[in-house]
Amino acid sequence: MCRSDVRQAVLAKNDDLAARLREELAEQGVAVVNLLSSPGSGKTELLGRMLADAVARGVPVAALTADLATENDATRLARSGAPVQQVLTDGLCHLEARQVRERLAGWLPEDTSVLFVENVGNLVCPASYDLGENLRIVLMAVTEGEDKPLKYPTAFGSAHVVVITKTDLAEAAGFDESTFRANVQRVNPGVEIVRSCARTGDGVGTVLDRALAARDGAPAHRPPLAPHPHGHHHHTESAPVA
């Protein structure tokens, strides 16, 4: 069996497990939101603000946060008052449905309505792995460059929502938002793009609202590289850009 065949077999096994996990959690009334970004995008800070906002609204939420090492992010997120667990991947550059399912066993509070999963900081490997999510949010900071969607079409092309972070630094970074938005639309036509700043709270409520809408069964945007079995395709980073 060639390397490509092995990879496809691994992804197929993951997809099957993710589909079962999605069904099991749906029966419990839980929606899963998968957060993807590169390291340093401000993903953890934004998630912390969303969790705190949800707690303030009386919405029962929980979070899993993944890293190769340390429990620093779980400690930060727990300050929100929401239940949080750390997943250590021991060097693996992404989360898999198996790891999520194992970490949830015996832990997820019964009244949870939204489970946020903060994936490993990486825009390559995590994009190919369905985690049983109902909503996939891909984030990018204004400091990362407007061409990121073209460099990582699998990640941005599988997003239900794209979030621009650290917008308070846009002017200093020389961020060309119109170019970024055009590049996102090239790989994922019609996807919503939300501006956010965890420092000021701008956009935090909007992103949380999208998660709650997924929980309530609102129809989501259909990305061209849908991140779950309803049209799931596995592409490499050489995927063509329209």
Compute the distance between CA of residue 123 and CA of residue 137 in angstroms, rounded to an integer.
12
The arrangement of secondary structure in 3-214, i.e. its CATH architecture, is 3-Layer(aba) Sandwich (3.40)
Q: What is the pLDDT along the chain (242 residues), one digit of tens a residue?
A: 566 777 788 889 999 999 999 999 999 999 999 999 999 999 999 999 999 999 999 999 999 999 999 999 999 999 999 999 999 987 788 999 999 999 999 999 999 999 999 999 999 999 999 999 999 999 999 999 999 999 999 999 999 999 999 999 999 999 999 999 999 999 999 999 999 999 999 999 999 999 999 999 999 899 999 876 443 333 334 333 33
Q: What is the DSSP letter of 41?
A: S
* Structural domain spans, the chain: 3-214
Task: State whether residue 211 is helix, strand or coil.
Answer: helix
Could you tell me which residues come within 8 angstroms of residue 150 by beta carbon, excluding any fewer than 6 positions away?
Answer: 183, 186, 187, 241
What is the pLDDT at residue 7?
Answer: 77
Task: State whether residue 132 is helix, strand or coil.
Answer: coil
Task: State whether residue 44 is helix, strand or coil.
Answer: helix
Report whether 43 contacts 35 (CB < 8 A): yes
pTM for this entry: 0.91
